[in-house]
Amino acid sequence: MGFFENSEEDFTSFFEHTPDLVCIASANGYFKNINQAVVEKLGFTKEELLSKPIFVNLHPEDREATRKTREEMINGKPLVNFENRYITKTGEIIWLQWTSVYMPQKEAVFAIAKDVTEQKKVAIDLDIKYQEFKKIALRFKSSIEKDRQHFAVELHEELAQLAAVIKLNLNSVTNSLPDLPQEKSDKIKYAAYLSEMMIKTIRKISFEISPYTLNYDYLQEALKILCDNFSKLNQITCTLETDFQEDDLTKEIKLDFFRICQEALKNVINHAQAKNVVISIKEKQDKITLTIFDDGKGIDISEKMYKSGLSVIRDRVMTINGKLRISSKANEGTVIHITVSQEKK
């Protein structure tokens, strides 16, 4: 306690040589003492700063958050690296990062701040560029999806319908010619069978290109169909576990989650040699997580990240500002874990 037994003036004087802003404030929100760095940074005289409430120089948008944080600090919660904006005498806006402690025995707050304005400007500039990149990526993805939808409709409505007509006519020939030689009858039946298989294949490809369910915002239904088809075609059990509200996800996230799952399942077929796959989507507070697990042989992540579908997954995660984590062990499978902050519709 000996260090704090000195007067506030001596205590502040100890910090006069630091470039950081150092101050002692009263519990009611006034500066009691400040070092020269505070004066130089804000541009007011020491007398001006001591004579008015600290909140006067705060940016209006930061006052409420600062008030709440200050109350929490006085009630015992540490304040570390808290950032807010101040308006200098010349009208310039600066960002300060505070670390403060409340000293109840003196009913005062001791605080040190760093000027982080340049770092914030860089961060804001990066965010602006990211938002621009996101808009471009969204337009690009939207354009691709429109082309996919058009192509899927052409497949489903044109080719599948033509194949259905062929099958119908082949069946008609068989029924109208009961005395047809067995060899020719068998060939016609086989052609009808191939037409049926063609119809199913076209519908499957059409769904994979552009699932109709996503047009109506039903991600869970689309993924259920994807899992069912995957299981039937590959004899690999695919389980879907969901606990989220459809309305809490934007169309962009729904679409990217579906495409990521598609890509992950392709990787399972091409690389994993798995017997089981589990796709899980969970919602918690303002986060939503997509997890894809397979019990296959595992992969070398460093090698595959830039050579396989993992790079496609990584790029899609970037466009929705998500966090991607992939873990894999030999003969223990692979886990793809994606976390995204929700942007509610």
3-state SS string over 212-280?
HHHHHCCHHHHHHHHHHHHHHHHCCEEEEEEECCHHHCCHHHHHHHHHHHHHHHHHHHHHHCCCEEEEE
pLDDT at 211 over 80: no
What is the reported pLDDT for 2?
A: 46
What is the reported pLDDT for 193?
A: 82
Mean pLDDT over 105-124 rounds to: 90
What is the reported pLDDT for 61?
A: 93
pLDDT at 237 over 60: yes
Min mean pLDDT across 89-103, 116-130, 139-153 is at 139-153
What is the reported pLDDT for 133?
A: 78
pLDDT at 132 over 90: no
Task: Identify the H or E element spanning 284.
Answer: strand 276-284
Question: Which burial class, exposed, middle or buried, applies to 146 when counting CB atoms under 10 A from its CB (0-12, 13-18, 19+)?
Answer: exposed
Question: Which burial class, exposed, middle or buried, applies to 292 when counting CB atoms under 10 A from its CB (0-12, 13-18, 19+)?
Answer: buried
Mean pLDDT over 169-181 rounds to: 78
What count of other Cβ atoms lies within 10 Å of the Cβ of residue 73? 19
Residues in the chain: 345
Distances (CA, A) of 43 to 95, 118, 121: 14, 18, 20
What is the reported pLDDT for 260?
A: 92
Backbone angles phi, psi at 157, to 5 degrees: -80, -30
What is the reported pLDDT for 212?
A: 56
What is the reported pLDDT for 64?
A: 93
What is the reported pLDDT for 12?
A: 47
Mean pLDDT over 67-81 rounds to: 90
What is the reported pLDDT for 116?
A: 93
Mean pLDDT over 62-69 rounds to: 93
Structure tokens of 71? 């109350």
Q: Which tops the pLDDT comparison, 296 or 163?
A: 296
Cα–chain center distance at 129: 17
Q: What residues pair up with 324 in beta bridges, in sequence order?
A: 338
Report residue 225's pLDDT band, with 50, 70 and 90 as the boundaries. confident
pTM of the predicted model, to two decimals? Answer: 0.53
pLDDT at 1 over 50: no
